[in-house]
Each structure stands twice: as structure tokens, then as C-alpha cells.
Structure 1
Amino acid sequence: MGLEELCALIDRHARRGTPPVEGLLLSRSERPTAPEPSLTGPVLALVAQGAKRTGLGERTYEYRAGQYLVVTVDLPVTGHFSEASPGRPFLGVGLELRPAAIADLLLQHATAPGPARPPGGAVSGIAVSTAPYELVDALVRLLRLLERPADRPVLAPLIEKEILWRLVTGEQGAVIRQIGLADSTLSQIGRAVRWIRDHHASALRVGELADMCAMSASSFHRHFRAVTAMTPLQFQKNIRLQQARLLLMSRDDDVEDVGYAIGYDSPSQFSREYRRQYGLPPGRDAERLRGAERGSRASRA
């Protein structure tokens, strides 16, 4: 069965809005969508039908039915469903990757097959691979638990552990391992990423971030760019602009006040960079987003 059963399970439960297993994400769309920015953490995302495209900086990753994408650290990405129709909707399943669960697995099975470190030492924050049958089969069994709530507390953790095992011992195993290793390059860059995310309105001092990661400035720059496809300053700008868009959509704040709140001293620079990122000045983009949200609520009423 494999992908065929996975498609049926995703389609059925995404339509129903079935309360998911913790950390499980279901996606369904009957049409291609416009690129939308979001901040994503460590996650496994597998396409069962259709195709999806994810952008990170200047990199673009497209993955289709039978392929999976892994994100290994908090990243500002742009994603959209690139292949979907009413007759063949996009169907996807995701699972949050918990560093503590990966660390526990590695502690229990230190001799798990597969390389412990990625070749070359530089780790990308995103990777795409073809899913082996064993991984698809484990995801199918996890989704079957949506119909067996009494079994979930016992079986869901066991199947999640199996999925992590398939990832750790699979094609992207060296990268997945880095998520669970506290002293790994990925974990060190992850600390810097979280600091920028949590303090995006503050001045960025790259030297202090390099010290935080116990790296030289040049090594920090190289690894940060390998993981995020951006320099630290570009990453901070992406986080700031995503936060600005969220504020503008959810609150009726003055555009200049939003710019100051996210760390911009110059309203003109804020408007210029916002327009370059999203195609419209912040005020007009906010009006469009609010209008789209009101239309969506009206259609659901």
C-alpha cells in the first residue's frame, strides 16, 4: 500500500480536522498557492501527492510525491503548494523533530549505522531525499492511530521513535544526528538563530554571536551561511520583516510604529525593505492581508 494508503489517511483526516497525534501535521490543498513566509522549526515533511516548493534565502527546494524534506533548525522560509488540483489535491504529512527525542535515541543506540558527521563539516538547514518504504510505512501506522485514540498513548511514542530511527540511519542521518547533539555545529548555530529570533529588534553584534557558538568570526560566518543560506544580518532582516507582517495583519498599528518596534530607526528603510520582500508597501500589504482574512472568515460562516 505505502503512499496510496498514506494519501487516503491524510485526505480523510485533513477533511475531518481530526485532532492529531502531538507533533503531527497534515496538509491538504486543492489548488496551487502563492508563496507565503513562515518561521519553521525542526520538522520532517513528506509529500504523499502533488508537489511543494520551499525557499530559504537564495535556495529553492522542490519535493514531490514520495520525497521528504527535513528542516533542522528554526528558519524563516517561504513555502507554497506547487502542484495541486481538485481531482488530485496536494497531500502531505509532517512531524516535528524534537531534539530531546533524537538525543535520547542516540544515547541508547550510539552505534547506529550511518556517518556521524556530514561530509565536509558544513551543515545545511534543509535537505530533501526520497523516502524509503520503511519510513512511509511507519508514517502510515502513525496516521492509523488517528482512528484508534485508545492506542495512541502507548503506540504513538513507539512509532515516533521508529520514524526517528529511519531518519537517523537514512540518507540524511548525519544531518538529523546533529539536531540531537548538544555540541554539534548545528546545535551551536541553532543557539545563534534562536538569539536572533528572540532579540530581532536589538543591534546585531556578530562577534558576540560567534563567541556564543565558541567559534571564530570567520568559522561562524561560514557555518551560519551553510545552515541558513543567509548572513546573520540577512537572517535578522528576514525575521524582522516576518514579525512586522504579523503585527500589521493582526493589529491596527501605525506603520512607522511597527517599524520602530521591530528595530528599524528609519521608516523609509523599513518601507523599502518590506516592499522588496513582499512586493507591496507595508500599509497596502496589511490592507490586502486583512481583506483576505475577512473574506476567508465570511466564506466559512
Structure 2
Amino acid sequence: MNSLVPPPSQAAPPALARLAGRLLAHAPQDGSFETCIPGVHAIRASNTSAELVHGLHCAALCIVAQGAKTVMLGDESYEYDPSRMMIFSLDLPIAAMIRQASVAAPYLSFRLDFDQERLSELILKAYPDGVPAVSDKRAVYVAQAGEAVIDAAVRLLTLASQPEDAELLAPLAKDEIVLRLLRGPFGARLAQLGRVESHRIGKVVDWIRRNYDQPIRIDDMAELAHMSPSSLHEHFKSLTSMSPLQFQKTLRLQEARRLMLSTGMDAGLACQRVGYASASQFSREYSRHFGSAPTRDMVRLRSAGAAVDSVSFTQ
């Protein structure tokens, strides 16, 4: 597994303590809480993860104010902790583990979901002469969060406690955050979302998300993206670290696990529900992905008291 770890964090900026305080106000207990501002979330966890949590993460900016977390995409591992931010520029199936958290000092994270339409408008403002070419097009990135971005996140969460002001001012604060990201070191990579190729891959990702239980034909996906099959494979993997088929398989296995844990569905029915024709293939791929066979995995999770939402992101 490749570990993509940024350089050690610098001294935490003063705004980080203010961000932690705002997050505690909006997340009074463990969980993910959407504020009155659409797309703005406060996340809190008082315990480290006993195991990886699997799920689909939406396109968003995440800033850790306290604690630490590991995120895995395919065979790549990303570490982030206070003052670092993680940017997802596509909806991606990930696995995550909170590495540092306690009741006295809970893991605290700010999340801003990207509005694709507004992002496209701001890309044109930030790059009126066109987006510079970049060699690394991966749709996830970890970097040091500058104090200006953190301060804007603090102001956005402060507005979340002032609904009347938030209606008028929150869109401005959101735009400020996105523009600062676009003008920062990651800017050109984030702006790749505005390119034709990324929009085309986004269409394929969206189709797979909505039809993960259906057979997938690469020729059909290539036609949807207006690309050749080889070009689709190259661009899809450069963004997500997975092929379209691997992406679909990951979604299927995540959903099967969620169904079994949340509804008590047996492995045979879950296998059919997510689109597998072969129970033996489902069991092999499930064991490879989660580390144990479906039935054994359910026994272990239930005996450990795993919560239903611990195996599925709605984020």
C-alpha cells in the first residue's frame, strides 16, 4: 500500500482552536451534523476506530481541527491531522480510520460539500486564461490548511449559529473558501474538475453510483463519456486510483455489508441484491475486501456492537 503522507504539520495556526470550539458547538455529541447552512457539517468522534469504516465520500473539503485520521482509496493511504485539509474532488468509495480521539479531546472535523455548478463558475473567475496543466490528477489530496482557509471556515460555522445572517452571508464565505483553494497549491488540480475530461468521468461515476447493481459494459461507459475504452480507463484510474469495474465492485461490497448489518439480511440475499450472480465469487471478493467471509464478518461486527452507520457514509 502506498502511503501519501504530507510533510510534518507546522505549528497549529491560532484559528484552529477557534475552529475546534465552533465544531464542538455544532456537534454536541459524536456523529456528523449538518448545520443550517446546506453542505456545511461538523463531525465529532470521542473514540479511535476499532477497524476501518467503509463508505462513499462525496466531493468536499475536510479540515481536521483536533485528532487524526487515515483515509484509504484503493491501494493508497492518506494521513491527516490538525491543520491539514483533505480535498475530495469526486464522489469516491473509501475506507477510513480515526487514529487519535478521546472523550477529553475528541476528533473534530469541518466538512464543506462542493456545489459543482458554483465551483465551475468560480474556476472561470480564478483562471480566466485557462487552467494550467497538472501531471497528478488524483481526485483526493492532502495539504496544509492555510490560516486564511481555516479562518473562513470559522466564520462560516459562526454564521451557522446566526440563521438570519447566514442566508445572506454564508454563500460569500463558501465562495471565499473555494476561491482560496483554487488560488492555492492544489488549485490547478481542483480546477481540473472544470475540464471536459473530468466532467465526462463524473458522468460515469454518477452512473455507476446509481446503477451499481447492474452489469457494466466498458463500451457503454466509454460511449457515455464520449471517449474510447482505453481513454476512459486511463482517465478514470488517474482520478480514482481504480478501474470502473473495481469502482463498481467496491460500491457493491460496501452496500452488501450495510444491508447485512442494518437489516439482518443473509449473505445469499445481499449478494443478489447488489448484483452478484455468483455467491462463491461474492464470498471471495468480500473476504478479500473486508478481511473475512460475510457470515463471519457479521458475527464479529455484531458482537462488537458495530453501529449501522459505522459501515456506510452518507457523506
- TM-score, scaled to structure 1: 0.89
Q: Which residue of 1 aligns with 2:96?
A: 79
1:260-275 maps to which residues of 2 (within 5 A)? 260-275=272-287
- What does 1:1-301 align with in structure 2 at a 5 Å threshold? 1-15=14-28, 19-33=35-49, 34-108=51-125, 110-111=127-128, 116-120=131-135, 123-179=137-193, 181=194, 183-290=195-302, 292=305
Partners in 2 of 1:294 and 1:95 — Cα distance?
25
Per-residue deviation, 1:290: 4.8
Q: Kindly tell me: are residues 68 and 118 of structure 1, through their superposed partners in 2, closer, same or farther at Cα, counting changes over 3 Å?
A: farther
CA distance in 2, matches of 1:286, 1:264: 19
2:104 & 2:211 partners in 1: Cα distance?
Answer: 45
Distance 1:233 1:126 in 2: 19
Counterpart AA for 1:157 = P
Distance 1:195 1:46 in 2: 29
Measured after TM superposition, the shift of residue 213 of structure 1 is 1.6
- Seq. identity, %: 35
Task: Name the structure 1 match of 2:312.
Answer: none
Q: Is the 8 A contact 2:126 2:179 kept in 1?
A: no
Query: Which amino acid letter does the alignment assign opposite residue 208 of structure 2?
Result: I
For the aligned residue pairs, the C-alpha RMSD in angstroms reads: 2.2
Structure 1 stretches lacking a partner, 5+ long: 297-301
Distance of 1:159 and 1:98 partners within structure 2: 13
Cα displacement string for residues 40-77 of structure 1 (whole angstroms, at most 9, x for unaligned residues): 11110011122111000000110111110111111100
Asked if 1 retains the 8 angstrom alpha-carbon contact of 2:67 and 2:100, the reply is: yes
**Structure 1 residue 216, shift from structure 2 partner:** 2.3
Query: Matched residue of 1:263: which SS?
Result: coil
- Quick one: distance in 2 between partners of 1:126 and 1:238? 17
In the TM superposition, residue 254 of structure 1 has moved relative to its aligned partner by 3.2
2:35–2:41 Cα contact (<8 Å) kept: no
Corresponding position of 1:299 = none
Which one-letter code corresponds to 1:149 in the other structure? P
Query: How many Å separate the matches in 2 of 1:77 and 1:6?
Result: 25
**Pairwise CA distance, 1:161:** 0.9
CA contact (8 A) 1:247 1:253 kept: yes
